[in-house]
Amino acid sequence: MAISTADFKNGKAILIDGKPYVIIEFQHVKPGKGGAFVRTKVRDIRTGRVNDLTFRSGEKFEEIRMEQKEMQYLYSDGSEYHFMDTVSYEQIALGAEVVGEAARWLKENDTATLHYAGEELIGVEPPMFVELEVTETEPGFKGDTVQGGSKSATLETGAIVQVPMFVTNGDVLKIDTRDARYITRA
C-alpha cells in the first residue's frame, strides 16, 4: 500500500529505494519561497544506521507491515539461539547476528519479542526487566552503602553492569535491559 508524506508517523516502516526504513521523526516544512518538503530521520531496518533525508511534499512510498511476536527463549547451542512460539509450539533457531545485543539479557524460559517487517525478521527485543545472578564481582568492604560508589559485576548471561558496592557473588539483581542499569536486588 502506498502512503504519502502527509501520512508519515513516527514508527511507521516504509521502503525507500527498495530498502526498508523506520521513521524516527519527521517535520513538514513550508518555506516562504518554493514548494513544501518533509525533513525526516529514518533508521535502516537491516543495518540500524540513522539517515537524515528530505522529500518533496506529496511524494509516495510503499508501506511495510510491522509485526511483533512473543516467543519463549529456550537455549543457545553456541552458534544459534532457539525460540518457541508458546501458542503453536513451533521452534525457530536464530543466528547470533540476528539476536545481537539482546543475547546478553536472554535467560532460558524468558519471553522475548521478535520484530518482523513484512515476512523478514529484523530483530529480537529482550524483556524490559530481567532478574540475573551475579557470577563475578569484586568483594565489597565494610561500611559500603547504597549511596557509595559502584563497581562492575558479571551476570550469569555474561553481561557486565555497574552495581553498588554492597552487591556480592550469588546475589540476584533486577536489571533494566534498555540501558543496562541496576534497579534492585531481587
Q: What is the pLDDT of residues 11-27, one digit of tens each?
A: 888 999 988 888 889 99
User: Which pTM does this prediction carry?
Assistant: 0.70
- Name the average pLDDT for the chain: 88
**Which of the listed residues 37, 64, 91 is the one where a domain comes to its end?**
64
Tell me, yes or no, whether 13 and 60 share the same domain: yes
Main-chain dihedrals φ then ψ at residue 126, nearest 5 degrees: -75, 170
Q: What share of the chain is helix, strand, coil (3-state, %, to 5)?
A: 5, 55, 40
Tell me, yes or no, whether 57 and 83 share the same domain: no
Residue 145 belongs to domain spanning: 130-185
Tell me, yes or no, whether 175 and 137 share the same domain: yes
Tell me, yes or no, whether 90 and 59 share the same domain: no
DSSP 34: S
Tell me, yes or no, whether 136 and 171 share the same domain: yes
* Number of structural domains found in the chain: 3
Residue 178 sits in a domain whose CATH number is: 2.40.50.140
The pLDDT tens digits for 68-107 are: 899 999 999 988 999 999 899 999 999 888 888 889 999 9
